[in-house]
Amino acid sequence: MNKQILTETIEQLFANGKGLLAMDESTATANKRFAAAGIPQTEEMRRRYREMIITTPGLSESIGGAILFDETIRQQTATGIPFIQVLQDAGIIPGIKVDQGTKPLAGFPGEKITEGLDGLRERLAEYKTLGARFAKWRAVITIDKNIPTEACIAANMQQLALYAALCQEADLVPMVEPEVLMTGDHTIGRCYDVTEKCLKQLFDQLYLFNVDIEAIILKPNMVIAGEAASQQNTVDEVAAATVNCLRASVPVAVPAIAFLSGGQTPEMAAAHLLSMHKNFRNQLPWILSFSFARAIQQPALDTWKGQEANVAAAQRLLYERAKLDAAAVSS
Ligand code: 5MM
């Protein structure tokens, strides 16, 4: 591992308060979002949508890196410019999702395990040749009456560590994403406990497998009540719970944390991030930023509707959302 390469990548990704744009929806997820917006679910429409995103004027003012999907990293604009080149020319660092999605965890109803370790070393080498400088893997943890189980947490955290070690071997920054889902009616306290447990086990595994935690990015959920919970918390309560949980479980040696939005509205995700910075500025040993997908893209997707005539309006919304998130980080 060349640590300097990894460290420089992390510094550049988050320079001047910038964050990341997650646009790594798998084909199934992209199609699901298109279907909900009444957009045809074809490869060409996914290509047009991603072209609209990456050619957004001024995007690099607030976005330092974009996470791509395997299909997207190989695509080009309508005029034949590789997407990778568009991003690089704009000063946005390309990254790649390298997990291959989740499957039911055998023997543990309602729980998931992420796939994708087989052949990962070779895939990382190819993605690096294509221009990726960081790579993301998402583990999914569900909260319900009797879950998550110890087995589910242990299996997923170990896989995150194995993936991260392979990334560092390939001089790609691992973006480690243990997502505790917002689905369900659990309280913020339950989310805190599960998130803390997952993060502590994650770092145990990262140490065990010799991952250099000074050369990773952590992509966690915020600590928040389930979306069906009868009691939702204030913005400042969510911010406080999130910062306290991270301080209890994430070593100060980790350089950067970039949240997922997890189904929060764009406004709420930005408000929580802003509150964390305003209220806890002196208690944050890491860069605390964003790596949102839905919370940046959704207004633009709803406006685009697959129509060329809507591209400029959609791009303005994308630009504005990203700008607000970066402003929260810099507040
Ligand atoms: C873009 O969505 C990513 C997962 O896609 P698949 O489920 O199709 O594999 C996801 O990992 C995303 O990068 C993060 O969860 C952040 O997305 P949100 O929408 O939660 O900010």
Distance 22 CA to ligand 1 centre (A): 7
Q: pLDDT > 70: what percent of the chain? A: 100
Pocket of ligand 1 contains residue 296 by CB under 6 Å? no
Ligand 1 centre and the CA of 13: distance in Å?
Answer: 18
Q: Is 164 in the pocket of ligand 1 (CB under 6 A)?
A: no
Taking only the tens place, the pLDDT of each residue in 268-315 is 999 999 999 999 999 999 999 999 999 999 999 999 999 999 999 999
How far apart are alpha carbons 321 and 80 in whole angstroms? 28
What letter does residue 76 receive in the DSSP assignment? B
- Computed over every residue of the chain, the mean pLDDT equals 98
Q: Is 179 in the pocket of ligand 1 (CB under 6 A)?
A: yes
pLDDT (0 to 100) of residue 49: 98
Cβ count within 10 A of residue 36? 10
| Mean pLDDT along residues 51-74 | 98
Helix H or strand E segment including 72: helix 70-73
Ligand 1 contact, 325 CB (< 6 A)? no
- Specify the pLDDT at position 99: 98
Minimal-distance CA residue to ligand 1 atom 9: 26
Give 84-152 as a DSSP string.
HHHHHHHT-EEEEE----EEE-TTSTT-EEE---TTHHHHHHHHHHHT--EEEEEEEE--BTTBS-HHH
Structure-token pair, residue 323 = 């700008």
Is ligand 1 within 6 A of the CB of residue 264?
no
pTM over 0.85: yes
**Could you list the active site residues?**
219
CATH fit for domain 3-330, picks 1.20.1250.20, 3.40.50.140, 3.20.20.70, 3.40.50.300? 3.20.20.70
What pLDDT, in 10s, does the model give residues 148-201? 999 999 999 999 999 999 999 999 999 999 999 999 999 999 999 999 999 999
- Residue 262 Cβ inside 6 Å of ligand 1? The answer reads yes
Go through 288-323 and write b for each residue having 16 or more CB atoms within 10 A of its CB, e for each that does not. Answer: bbbbbbbbbbbbbbebbebeeebbeebbbbbbbbbb
How far does residue 34's CA lie from ligand 1's centre (Å)?
A: 15
Instruction: Determine the Cα–Cα distance for residues 196 and 246; give it in Å rounded to an integer.
Output: 7
CB-CB contact of 277 with 326 (8 Å):
no
- Domain range list for the chain: 3-330
Span 76-92, mean pLDDT? Answer: 98
- Ligand 1 pocket test, pick from 97, 163, 175, 180 with the greatest ligand atom count within 8 Å of Cβ, gives 97
Distance from the CA of 24 to the center of ligand 1, in angstroms? 7
Does residue 285 sit in helix, strand or coil?
A: coil
Say what angle helices 43-54 and 83-90 make with each other, to 10 degrees. 10
**Which pLDDT value is given to residue 145?**
95
